[in-house]
Amino acid sequence: MSENILSQNPAQRGGSPRSGGPNRGPGRINPADRKQLAAQPVSLNRIAALFAPHKVSITVVVLLISVSSIVGLAQPFLVRHIIDTALPHKDVNLLLWLTGGMVAVAAATSAIGVVQTWMTTGMGQTIMHTLRTRLFTHLQKQSLGFFTRTRGGEVQSRLNNDIAGMQSVITSTATGIASNVTTTVATAIAMVALSPQLSLLSLIVIPPAIWFSRRVALLRRDITSSMQAELATMNTQVEEGLSISGVRLAKTLGTTGRDERRYTESSQRLVGLEMRSQLAGQWRMATMGIIFAAIPAAIYLVAGLPATSGGMTIGTLVAFTALQGTIFRPIMGLLNLGVQWVTAMALFSRIFEYLDLTPEIEAPANPVQIDPATVRGDVRFEGVRFAYDGGAEVLHGIDLALPAGTTTAVVGPTGSGKSTLGSLLSRLHDATAGRITIDGVDVRDIDPENLTRIVGVVSQESYLIHDTIRENLLLAAPDADDAVLWSALASAQIADLIAGLPDGLDTMVGARGHRFSGGEQQRLAIARTILRNPRVLVLDEATSALDNTTEAQVQAALDRLAVGRTTLTIAHRLSTVEEADQLAVLAAGTIAEVGTPAELRDAGGAYAALIASGEPLELVG
Q: What is the CATH number of the domain that holds 78?
A: 1.20.1560.10
Alpha-carbon gap, residue 108 to 363, rounded angstroms:
55
Residue of 539, 564, 128, 550 lying closest to 347 (CA atoms): 128
**How many structural domains does the chain have?**
3
Look at residue 14 in the predicted model and tell me its pLDDT. Answer: 37
438 and 305 share one domain: no
Report the 10 Å Cβ neighbour count for 305: 10
Look at residue 172 in the predicted model and tell me its pLDDT. Answer: 67
Q: Give 546-584 pLDDT, tens digit per residue.
A: 566 666 776 777 777 777 889 898 876 666 677 888 998
Examine residue 321 and state whether it is found in any structural domain, yes or no: no
78 and 177 share one domain: yes
The pair phi, psi for residue 420, each rounded to 5°, is -60, -40
Q: What is the DSSP letter of 368?
A: B
Global confidence as pTM: 0.66
179 and 42 share one domain: yes
Examine residue 260 and state whether it is found in any structural domain, yes or no: yes
Q: Give 324-380 pLDDT, tens digit per residue.
A: 777 777 776 676 666 667 777 777 888 888 888 877 778 888 888 888 888 898 999
Q: Give 268-303 pLDDT, tens digit per residue.
A: 888 887 777 666 556 555 666 666 667 777 777 776
No. of helices (H) and no. of strands (E), the chain: 28, 10
168 and 119 share one domain: yes
492 and 516 share one domain: yes
Look at residue 442 in the predicted model and tell me its pLDDT. Answer: 93
540 and 444 share one domain: yes
Sign of CA dihedral 594, 596, 597, 599: negative
Examine residue 140 and state whether it is found in any structural domain, yes or no: yes
138 and 245 share one domain: no
Examine residue 18 and state whether it is found in any structural domain, yes or no: no
Examine residue 350 and state whether it is found in any structural domain, yes or no: yes
Instruction: Work out the average pLDDT over 218-223.
Output: 62
Higher pLDDT, 498 or 42: 498
Mean residue pLDDT across the chain: 77
Examine residue 365 and state whether it is found in any structural domain, yes or no: no
Sign of CA dihedral 607, 608, 612, 613: negative
Residue span of the structural domain in which 158 resides:
30-195+328-359
SS3 504: helix
82 and 59 share one domain: yes
Assign residue 466 the CATH number of its domain.
3.40.50.300
167 and 116 share one domain: yes
Q: Give 5-28 pLDDT, tens digit per residue.
A: 333 333 333 333 343 443 444 445
Q: What is the DSSP letter of 468?
A: B
Examine residue 3 and state whether it is found in any structural domain, yes or no: no
pLDDT at 612 over 50: yes
Residue 311: exposure state from Cβ atoms within 10 A (0-12, 13-18, ≥19): exposed
342 and 381 share one domain: no
119 and 202 share one domain: no
207 and 131 share one domain: no
Examine residue 8 and state whether it is found in any structural domain, yes or no: no
Is the CB of residue 231 less than 8 Å from the CB of residue 21? no
pLDDT at 621 over 60: no
